[in-house]
Structure 1
Amino acid sequence: MKYRPIDQLEQSDRLGRNIYANDGRVLLGKGISLTIGLIGRLKRMGVHAVYVMDDEEEGKDIPESEDESSISDKTKREVMKNLSESLGIIQEGKDFHTKDLGQTTKNIIDELLHNKDVLLQLEDIRTKDNELLIHSMHVTVMSVLVGIKLQYTNKELIELGIGAILHDVGKVGKKQKDGLAANEHHAWIGFNTLRKNREISTVSAHVAFQHHEYLDGSGEPRGVKGENIHPYARIVSVANTYDNLVSPQDGSQPLLPYEAGEQIMGLAGEKFDRDVVWQFLRSVAFYPNGSNVHLSNGSIATIVGQNKGLPQRPIVRIFSNNTTNQYMHYDVEEINLAKAPTLFINRMVQD
């Protein structure tokens, strides 16, 4: 699979990932051949880039397990549907019940517990309508997996998951501006919304309250520091920051996964909990499958697989032994970097 900017799509490219509506319905399914009309529709939806199938995937029905999805498409649809409904009720100023959202969170936990060594490749395509939902889902998946690695109990994972999936509830129907008073910050608004709901624990509500706080006291909305930040919020803070770096909602230039990982790593101990960062970096694929990389021997290679617990040492397929952009599809060599200690990835490269 290849990650391709919208302006580089061509007719007959085949979509490599489902695109979801904000109610969980599949708008465009994986495998569909793109036309000029569909590409134009994607642009109007605010899509900036999509995954397309490569030559090896053409004509194949790839099972979900081989697709290395962190959670099933069924669970993704349920997350988006239930979260969308809950946010709609909140926007109307009404009380909402958490039964469906709680069950969906439990489903995420169960799937990750059965696949706790997965390296997350969060590749869901974002549109203007589903952006907040996809962000909330990704933050939840990353946070829960870190909680699992920290050996949280099932009760703790549920509290963490509910807090993560609703961490941005204070943004519903509101445009955030610079210079807001602390009690106008979406974190404060979200906390006040959640703490009034008797079905949501206080610690889950504090995730919404503190997910922009940093260990050194430089965060928002209250500038609390250190041990005064709840452990759940410390986890969600890292996941939220990472997702905002790779898929910014403010129109800024996105970072590549390994660049975002390096930035998170550099802030460990200063803004982020060191233990959380360590477990987080063991959970996310720095070099997602389908991306192209420049190796230390001068070769251009494509990432074709991951090694659990070793995000910086994926499995690569080399198509050429030169530094040009002329990829050759013969003399193919597949190398597991975990077993090649003298070979390193220098950087990611564009198609």
Structure 2
Amino acid sequence: MRQIGIDYANIGHVLSRTIFTADGQILLGRGVVLTAGFIAKLRNLGITALYIEDERFSDIVLKDVVSEETRREVLRSLKESTDVVRSGKKIDGKRIKDAVNQVIDEVMRNHNVLVSFPDIRTNENQLMAHSVQVCILSALLGVASSLDRYRLADLAVGALLHDLGMTVLSKELVIKPLQMMTAEERQAYYDHTLKGFELLRSNGNIPLTSAHVAFQHHEHIDGSGFPRNLQSDDIHLYGRITAVADTYDQLVNGNREGRKFLPHEACEFLMASAGSKLDVELVRLFLKNIAAYPTGASVRLSTGEIGVVVDQNNSMPMRPIIRVLEERSRVIEPIEYDLVSEKTMFIKEVML
């Protein structure tokens, strides 16, 4: 198994990870053989990278913090909730809490597993998949912050529903770059935090602290955020945690401005934002749980050799284990380098 960019997808490649629709249904399942039609469809849906089977890396196992089955269930619960909100009814709080508890169970069980790969998303399911991933990342950071089970549940519910206010906006406005919005559209976008808070607060089945996540996840430590320009500890801990998770996921999976960061670039961005936009200690804890170079990614080393990340070093996420198969365009016998031991070697480029 390895990751490739969509431009390198060929007829006959076999998918090694399932791709889902916005409501959690399988679009293309693991084991599907790619055809010209499938590849064209993936391009049209906005998918830029995918995972394929490769016998040279058949021993690679993607360790995920939360299983595909649980992700699908949470995605379905979220889709049902947003449909309910659009129809003017109240969210089924028990349904959401049950789904979130599955996430917490798996995060607590797998909290030592590094988050190693971005989601494979379509344009259609971007907002829903983003909310699910922010929920998972926030729960992971909550565990790292030693929150108890009760507080983890409130945090995770808020993180899953943090962008609920976006569901009342038009689909066009949800994806429109900020600099292209009119003043009226920009204000409507800024108001999504307040709208989400009001929807959750009036629901009755959602904890007030969870509702505040929707209200505060765009606040910044230095007071430059919105909607209330809160600073530092005036921002609730759940809001500060979700802000870190939200920022990272927007970077690696693409945001309204269009650019996608590679995971190691996103890690650098978080470090640069710590102390101004984001909480320093939370960023430090978060980065301990992120694989800067995802398992399955193709990389070029400082030696010129080309290989694939085959495993992670939990104690040093920036220094994974690489299996090299090519040297200066020449295929060679596989060699593995543990970058923790190879002090003078480093990853020069991620190749997609």
C-alpha deviation, 1:178, in angstroms: 5.6
C-alpha deviation, 1:8, in angstroms: 3.0
Secondary structure of the residue that 1:300 maps to in structure 2?
A: strand
Q: Distance in 1 between matches of 2:345 and 2:257?
A: 36
Q: 2:48 corresponds to which residue?
A: 48
CA RMSD of aligned residues (A): 1.9
2:124 paired with 1:139: no
Q: Is the 8 A contact 1:18 1:124 kept in 2?
A: no
Q: Distance in 1 between matches of 2:24 and 2:187?
A: 35
Q: Is the 8 A contact 2:119 2:253 kept in 1?
A: no
Q: Is the 8 A contact 2:2 2:57 kept in 1?
A: no
Please, which moves more after superposition, 260-269 or 115-124? 115-124
User: 1:112–1:206: structure 2 CA closer, same or farther, 3 Å change rule?
Assistant: same
C-alpha deviation, 1:40, in angstroms: 2.1
Q: Is the 8 A contact 1:318 1:332 kept in 2?
A: yes
1:30 partner letter: R
User: 1:327–1:213: structure 2 CA closer, same or farther, 3 Å change rule?
Assistant: farther
Q: Deviations over 1:134-180 (max 9, x none)?
A: 10111111111111011110011101100100001000041254634
Q: Deviations over 1:95-131 (max 9, x none)?
A: 1111121111111111111111110024331112211
2:237 paired with 1:237: no
User: 1:203–1:309: structure 2 CA closer, same or farther, 3 Å change rule?
Assistant: farther
Alignment of 1:1-351 (within 5 A): 1-56=1-56, 66-174=61-169, 175-176=173-174, 177=181, 179=183, 180-181=186-187, 185-250=191-256, 252-321=258-327, 324=328, 326=329, 328=331, 330-350=332-352
TM (norm. structure 2) is 0.91
Q: Distance in 2 between matches of 1:247 and 1:14?
A: 23
Q: Deviations over 1:39-80 (max 9, x none)?
A: 22223333233222223356x8x8xxx321221121011011
1:36 partner letter: A
Q: Distance in 2 between matches of 1:222 and 1:90?
A: 25
1:336 partner letter: D
Structure 2 unaligned blocks of 5 or more: 175-180
More helix by percentage: 2
C-alpha deviation, 1:222, in angstroms: 1.8
Secondary structure of the residue that 2:340 maps to in structure 1?
A: helix
Q: Is the 8 A contact 1:183 1:221 kept in 2?
A: no
Q: Distance in 1 between matches of 2:225 and 2:287?
A: 22
Secondary structure of the residue that 1:23 maps to in structure 2?
A: coil
Q: Following superposition, which runs of at least 4 residues in structure 1 exceed 4 angstroms of deviation?
A: none
Q: Distance in 2 between matches of 1:181 and 1:245?
A: 23
Q: Distance in 2 between matches of 1:84 and 1:10?
A: 33
C-alpha deviation, 1:184, in angstroms: 5.6
2:44 partner letter: R
Q: Is the 8 A contact 1:182 1:221 kept in 2?
A: no
C-alpha deviation, 1:260, in angstroms: 0.7
C-alpha deviation, 1:133, in angstroms: 1.4
1:255 partner letter: F
Q: Is the 8 A contact 1:13 1:34 kept in 2?
A: yes
Q: Distance in 2 between matches of 1:223 and 1:178?
A: 22
Aligned residues: 341
Identity across matched positions, percent:
38
Please, which moves more after superposition, 209-218 or 247-256? 247-256
Secondary structure of the residue that 1:332 maps to in structure 2?
A: strand
Q: Distance in 1 between matches of 2:118 and 2:190?
A: 32
